[in-house]
Amino acid sequence: MKTFVIRRRNAWKNAGELEITAGVSTRVGNEEMPDKVRWIRSYVVEEADGTLGTVCIYQAVNEEAIREHARRVGMPADEITPVANTVVIRDDSGQKLRAA
């Protein structure tokens, strides 16, 4: 699998909506597409208009699998960028939203 960064802009009004979507995303990935996509982590960002967006790290067989996963979940995949390499300076696991 290849690693991708996915930007989801202005997708949720609040954290509650995001949590519900995270649960659906986890289920779809784990039960419906386990051999095609793996959600690694997401960074939640506050957009300029007050809505929430995310920057997500996924592993997938290709971009189309990520788009299919997003379609099944009902969330955007505004930008999908392949990761060329990873440089880790510090662990960033201080704040986590755990999907059910």
pLDDT in tens, 5-35: 999 999 999 999 999 999 999 999 999 999 9
Angle at 80 between CA 77 and CA 85, to 5 degrees: 145
Write the pLDDT tens digit of every residue in 55-97: 999 999 999 999 999 999 999 999 999 999 988 888 777 655 5
CA angle centred on 64, ends 60 and 68, rounded to 5° = 90
- At 92, the amino acid letter reads D
User: What pLDDT is attached to residue 95?
Assistant: 58
State the average pLDDT over residues 49-53.
Answer: 96
Structural domains of the chain in order of their starting residue, each with its CATH number: 2-82 (3.30.70.3090)
pLDDT of residue 92: 75
Please tell me the predicted confidence (pLDDT) of residue 100. Answer: 43
Please report which residue ranges of the chain form alpha helices under DSSP H. 15-27, 63-73
- Give residue 72's pLDDT: 97
